[in-house]
Chain A
Amino acid sequence: MKKYTYTEKKDTRSGFGAGLLEAGKKNPEVVALCADLVGSLKMDAFIKEFPERFFQIGIAEANMIGIAAGLTIGGKVPFTGTFANFSTGRVYDQIRQSVAYSDKNVKICASHAGLTLGEDGATHQILEDIGLMKMLPGMTVINPCDYNQTKAATIAIAEHHGPVYLRFGRPVIPVFTDPDQKFEIGKAWMVNEGTDVTIIATGHMVWKAIEAGEKLAEMGIDAEIINIHTIKPLDEEAVLKSVKKTGCVVTCEEHNKFGGLGESVARLLSTELPTPQEFVAVNDSFGESGTPDQLMTKYGLDSINIIEAAQKVIKRAKK
C-alpha cells in the first residue's frame, strides 16, 4: 500500500475559495454569485479582489441560477455558490431549463454537501444531489476529495465550456493530494495499485478508502484504490481496467446509494463486465443532527464499512 500522509487538515470549501480567486485572476470573464452565504462558501477573497465581478443575490436561489444563465450571454463565466441542497433540489427546474437545456456555461458550486454538514440536520444535508445533477444531459458532475483537489478542480472548470456541478464540503479533512496537481475533468486518479479488490471512492470518502486500504494491507488484502472525482463523465476505461484485474468492486460515496457514483459504476459494469459490487453509501435515508464523525459512523460511511464491504465482495467474487 502506497503511503499517504498529511500535515494539515482543511475544508474543501476553502479549496474552492482559493481556486475561485485563482480562476478570477486567470480569466477576467469569471464572475461569482452567492445567495447570502459568502462566508460559508469562502468567497471573501474573490470579492475583495474583484468587487465589481461579484453579485450578492440574497436568499433567492432560483433567481441566482437564472441570473447566472443570463450572465453567460455576454461571455461571462459565472460561478454560483450556496449549500448543495439549495444549489440543486431547490432549483432543479431552473438548472434544467435555463442552464442545462440552454447549454449555458454556468458553474454550480455547492458546499456543505452530504452528512458532514453536521448539526444543522437533514433539511440541509442533501444526499441526492449527485443523482439529480448527473441525470441532466450535458451536465458535468465533480466531487473532489481534499483542499488541493478542490482548488485545482475549481480552476479547471473555469477553463471548461459547459455546465458543471462542483460538490464539496464543510468539515476539515486531511490534505493529501499534490498542491500543484493538474486537474483533468473525467480522468480518474489511481491512488493505489492493487490486485484483490477495486475500491472506488469520491469526495470525503477517498481518505477513508486510504485508511481502509492500509488496514486491508495488514490483513493481506491488496486493494486497488481509485479516486473518481468526476462522476460524470465517468472514466469508464479506468474502472473497467481495474475491475478486469481484481474481479470485484466497492464504491464509496457520501450520498444516497440510489443515484450516486455506485449506480454509475454498476450501470457500466452490468453492460460491459458484470462484476460483484458492494455499495458504501447512505441506505435510502435522510440524515440528522450530530457531529460529522458521529453521522459518518451511524450511517455506515467509515473506513470499517469499506473494509467489511471489501471482505464481503471478495468472497462473492470467489464463488
Chain B
Amino acid sequence: MKHTINELEDIASQVRRDIVRMVHACQSGHPGGSLGCADFFTALYFEVMNHSTDFTMDGKGEDLFFLSNGHISPVFYSVLARSGYFDISELATFRKLNSRLQGHPTTHEGLPGIRIASGSLGQGMSVAIGAAQAKKLNKDHSTVYVLLGDGELQEGQNWEAIMYAPHNKVDNLIASVDYNGQQIDGPTEKVLSLENLQAKFEAFGWHVINSDGNDMDSIVKALHYAKTLAGKGKPILNLMSTQMGAGVDFMMGSHKWHGVAPNDEQLATALAQLPSTLKDY
C-alpha cells in the first residue's frame, strides 16, 4: 500500500470539498455523480494505478484511465490536480471561458491527464478497449481502466463493446460501473431498468466482481483484486455500488443533485461535513 486507508479517506474528503466548491463557483456542473465516485478516483490515482504525472498522450508503460460518463468531470479534475497533473489553482477555472477544465473532459485544450473527450455517453468503453489492444500490440503489460455510469449502459454502443472485449480476450481491461441506480429523470429502475447487470456481463463473458464504491477499504481491495485477475483471458468488471452525492447528507441517495449546483448556504452546509485535509485550492 502506498497510503493507508485513513490517508486515502482524507484525500477523498478534500476531493469532495473541491467538487462542491467548483460546482458552486460556476453555478453549474454535476455534483451528485462526482461525489459518489470520489473514493473510487482517489483509490485509483493515489493507490492502484501505476501512472506518471509527466503526461504523454501515448502513456506507454503506464496504466491508463478513461472516463466514459464525462459529466462527472469535477471529480476527475480534482483528482488529476491533487495527483500533480496540473496546479490545484486551475480548479477555479472550471466551466469558465478559456479554461482547460471544460464542462466535459476534452483533449482539445491540452489538459494533462485527459486522453479522450467524453460527455456524449456510451463511447468510453470502446476507446478503452482500443487503448488496451494497442498495449498488447506494444507488448506493454500495464492495465487500462474505464469508468462507466450505470444509466449510461442504456446506450447501445456499450453492448457492442461489452460483446467485443471477451471475444477478443481483452484481459488487460478493468471496467467499473458507477452503480448508483440514478439518472437525470429518476431512478434507473423507473426510467429504463438495468435488470441484473452482473448476470448480463457474465453472460457476455466478463469476470465480474462487486465492491462498495463508498467504502475506501472495499474499493481498494476490489481494485487490487481486479488487477490480479488481469491477463487471465477475460475482461474484468467491477460492479461498484455507490450513492449519488456521497459525503454530503442532503445530496445523497437522490437523482435531484445529478446536475444542480448548491447555493451559498448549501455550500456552507456541505463544507461543514467535509473536513479540509489538504489545502483548499
A interface with B by C-beta (< 8 Å): 31, 52-53, 55, 57-58, 60, 62-76, 78, 93-94, 96-98, 101-104
- Known A101-B117, A102-B107; contact A60-B134, beta-carbon cutoff 8 A: no
B contact residues around A58 at 8 Å (CB): 160, 163-164
A contact residues around B120 at 8 Å (CB): 93, 96-97
- Known A58-B163, A62-B157, A102-B106; contact A76-B137, beta-carbon cutoff 8 A: yes
- B62-106 vs A, Cβ < 8 Å mask (1 yes, 0 no): 001010000000000000000000000000000000000000001
B contact residues around A62 at 8 Å (CB): 122-123, 126, 156-157, 160
Give the nearest-CB partner of A64 in chain B: B126
Are the C-beta atoms of A97 and B163 separated by less than 8 Å? no
Give the tally of cross-chain contacts (CB within 8 A). Answer: 119
Q: How far is the CA of A118 from the CA of B108 in the complex (A)?
A: 40
Q: Is B240 an interface residue (CB 8 A)?
A: no
Are the C-beta atoms of B130 and A71 separated by less than 8 Å? yes
In-complex Cβ contact of B164 among A31, A60, A72 (8 A): A60
Question: A-side binding surface: helix, strand, loop or mixed?
Answer: helix
Are the C-beta atoms of A98 and B58 separated by less than 8 Å? no
* 16 A-B pairs whose Cβ atoms sit less than 8 Å apart in the complex: A53-B137, A55-B168, A60-B157, A63-B161, A66-B161, A69-B127, A70-B116, A70-B130, A70-B134, A73-B59, A74-B137, A98-B116, A101-B106, A102-B107, A102-B108, A102-B117
Are the C-beta atoms of A63 and B133 separated by less than 8 Å? no
Q: How far is the CB of B140 from chain A (nearest CB, A)?
A: 7
Give the nearest-CB partner of B124 in chain A: A66
Q: Is B184 an interface residue (CB 8 A)?
A: no
- Known A58-B163, A75-B58; contact A69-B137, beta-carbon cutoff 8 A: no
Q: How far is the CB of A108 from chain B (nearest CB, A)?
A: 14
Q: How far is the CA of A57 from the CA of B157 in the complex (A)?
A: 12
- Known A60-B164, A98-B127; contact A70-B132, beta-carbon cutoff 8 A: yes
Are the C-beta atoms of B123 and A76 separated by less than 8 Å? no
- Known A75-B138, A98-B123, A102-B106; contact A70-B157, beta-carbon cutoff 8 A: no
